[in-house]
Structure 1
């Protein structure tokens, strides 16, 4: 018997030959409509006898071709296939609002040795997602799994783990608009799902390098019929690792410490305390372009979203090159479902960022405000955004970049004259944009290729405004008080 949190390590590849079946116990915490991604650590466990009380039409496999869950091919004789993940709903007897803690038993022969799964990939860059799982009664290292010679050409170096932290929406495939997935990238790090700040924190939800016993997870295949090979060499000898992803709050099981990486996590908190995190990491293997094995795009675009931008890529995890360049500029984007004050803050940090040795400047290009997030968070006002704003914020590492911006700004003056703002500088003006304190565009004026332009302030309310001066050498930001 292997109790919850325990591991069984088998040193050779032979099949267990003892008498009787083994039992591997796993504790899960579920509400009635919650799902868990399960994977059996034993062979012979009947699929429909595992969670008695869950309707059989809510026990699913994942269909890669249409990005949906289904029951095709499953029946009362079906058993858990080694290395395959299954989505199983909570039992009818569970409360729909309060999680029930229950011990689930896997009964059968412990899986051991080499196990191979064939992955599917339909045409298209957004295809190839397969629900697989840890096939052993011990934790496995995802980094070792993804980097193994037999696998590195089969899957991308990323895994996605389902949590039940957020309200489940009746959506699948491309229509899914939530963010219940935690993401892990080997050698880079992990990021937790969307959460309510104050009720739990992302650090407690963040995946690390080891995948727990009975855990199902999603990988993306690089080509159709790609083999995913599990071996005993991938099995971890300790019970530390990521949390077991099924709970409605942080797990109290120990987590395995990760290697030190120069990285930091940022969080955006909206007026309803809905929080999203991103990870920026500098590693030797990465470039400052999109790296398919080290950068992770948003798995889904939620109603509240936060990500870093690299070209056309919307990244939840961005890996950048070493050494860290003081000239780095990292654009950020966000979307919020609630108008009001939002917060961007430093959530966690490692390596050179750990002891405040390396500044992390957040620049608000609308207000011109620059904040060192090592010293405190930044609060800003936003209207409801149904489409992401990817032009307002950026991360900088050096005062020299800011000094160059300030020098350009100081070459321009804006002053009131009667009912106008007069803008004057040393370059031609291509146009003016005026924003209120919530970053809403309230007035715009085309340029006339001269170095002076007037913008009327008639009808504007009293308060703070931000003017964007579009010049032949770039955009200059000025704060104005009406």
Structure 2
């Protein structure tokens, strides 16, 4: 009889008790964990009250019981080895910029979580590109004050290539992007939309159909990060057939019911450029809830995977990362006094060629009063991002082009460059008069008529208007040495105009303008026993760079 009663007793033990009897378990009892803080080998049970997680925390499994709350805040990442269960009225809340990672791509989640995401501030009639990090989210439940006909997806098929109205009662498909208009009642003053996704957290492989890119049609696919964590751009691009990503910034207010595609920032696997209307360039990660346009090499099905997910890096809303090819880029801006702006990037990448490389080269924006781009061989297309073959050669030449509907005065200037270029000159050749201008020293100002000019400008890394003998003579006429334990520069052929000193990270550690003398002592340069690049610009507009230990 005792055995029978024991068997009945054992069968009646709750699932919760079984967890506590077998394996390491810790339970939140309303104010503390009864068996120590959770870890990747610990089953965590939130039994009652509210458990606030404000720093990165790991769990083997998570079970949130009815009426209990697990609240994640402060941009923390929770990492779960296996399953997540939210039972009854229990709540697992992930607040803005927090992340949920799951190691086991086969783990099965049950019950709904809440994932909260703040959009970039919007004005009336403006849209944000969204994707759901959970399964089961209905469009109009996510944004109930958006008008019924203002939910869109995009059909990139050749016969359509246009926006498609989505039924407001449709469930958001994981991996698919949607354009959702701001709620009714928004005004011309930008306002943050605080969205809340509710559903089962997405985990594991998630497929999405894409259409092959046709440059003549510009048929991009509207996709979305399907996870409640950021995903890595490089891992995404290296493990799919996607090439270039475009992120909508909605920097510009709508005019006459029309938006401008100048608001797209562009990203390839190695670099990004800001939208024509300004803002920041896209980084290496795509935040949770973020949708984006992407070119695809072929019409196929791609897979988002857990390997693409990353901890943190979840605040910029709009193969493995260590496989990034060696690459170095220069970013240039073209501007005028009327507020026109274009940014381009060109550089050197170990897996690139001097021809067109899908996934590394990105077409330039065609919007705005001005277009600015680099050119590739005989292609008639202009590129906003161009990857060229590595290793770099001092003899390389990068052709630049521009189109403008505004006549007047413009500037071409360096926005930033990788450390690789810290000790290298970057000359802009103006073929209209044969002059060379070192963009490292200052912006280049020029005037232009309206039109397209694809042969006027070229980038060089040496002033080829000088002969080799001239270069050698100038290089040998500038001396850098220590005198009384201070760096001294002497020029024997031309007076010194200015000096800039860089450390090996490309940071300026010293500069001096208006020297107007044949020699200068860098008395304010602090000795730190480090390698420096000392760039001396002479009054004949020639720059000499020399390495110096000080």
TM-score by length of 1: 0.72
Pair 1:180 & 2:256 matched = no
Tell me what 1:155 maps to: 242
CA contact (8 A) 1:6 1:239 kept: no
Pair 1:164 & 2:250 matched = yes
Q: Following TM superposition, by how much is the alpha carbon of 1:265 offset from its aligned partner in structure 2, in angstroms?
A: 0.3
Write the distance in 2 (CA, Å) between the matches of 1:21 and 1:76: 21
Question: Which residue, 261, 268, 271 being the options, matches 2:334?
Answer: 268
CA deviations 1:57-108 (Å, max 9, x no partner) are: 111010213332121xx3243111000000111122111x210113110011
Q: Aligned Cα RMSD in Å?
A: 2.5
Write the distance in 2 (CA, Å) between the matches of 1:405 and 1:390: 28
Shift in alpha-carbon separation, 1:317–1:80, aligned structure 2, 3 A: same
CA deviations 1:199-222 (Å, max 9, x no partner) are: xxx5x5101111111000111222
Q: Following TM superposition, by how much is the alpha carbon of 1:404 offset from its aligned partner in structure 2, in angstroms?
A: 5.4
Write the distance in 2 (CA, Å) between the matches of 1:165 and 1:15: 40
CA contact (8 A) 2:213 2:297 kept: no
Tell me what 1:464 maps to: none
CA contact (8 A) 2:371 2:404 kept: yes
Tell me what 2:163 maps to: 69
Tell me what 2:466 maps to: 403
Write the distance in 1 (CA, Å) between the matches of 2:343 and 2:326: 19
CA deviations 1:428-478 (Å, max 9, x no partner) are: xxxxxxxxxxxxxxxxxxxxxxxxxxxxxxxxxxxxxxxxxxxxxxxxxxx
Q: How does 1:362-373 map to 2 (within 5 A)?
A: 362-373=428-439
Q: Following TM superposition, by how much is the alpha carbon of 1:396 offset from its aligned partner in structure 2, in angstroms?
A: 0.7
Q: Which runs of 5+ in 2 are unaligned?
A: 1-92, 319-323, 471-550
CA contact (8 A) 1:261 1:351 kept: no
Tell me what 1:313 maps to: 381
Question: Which residue, 210, 223, 228 being the options, matches 2:298?
Answer: 223
Higher relative contact order (CA 8 A, sep 6+): 1
Tell me what 2:446 maps to: 380
Write the distance in 2 (CA, Å) between the matches of 1:76 and 1:316: 36
Q: Following TM superposition, by how much is the alpha carbon of 1:368 offset from its aligned partner in structure 2, in angstroms?
A: 3.0
Shift in alpha-carbon separation, 1:377–1:26, aligned structure 2, 3 A: same
Secondary structure, aligned partner of 1:233: helix
Write the distance in 2 (CA, Å) between the matches of 1:17 and 1:316: 42
Q: Following TM superposition, by how much is the alpha carbon of 1:372 offset from its aligned partner in structure 2, in angstroms?
A: 0.7
Q: Which runs of 5+ in 1 are unaligned?
A: 196-201, 246-257, 408-482
Write the distance in 1 (CA, Å) between the matches of 2:262 and 2:468: 36
Structure with larger Rg: 2
Secondary structure, aligned partner of 1:308: strand
TM-score by length of 2: 0.63
Q: Following TM superposition, by how much is the alpha carbon of 1:327 offset from its aligned partner in structure 2, in angstroms?
A: 1.8
Q: Following TM superposition, by how much is the alpha carbon of 1:120 offset from its aligned partner in structure 2, in angstroms?
A: 2.7
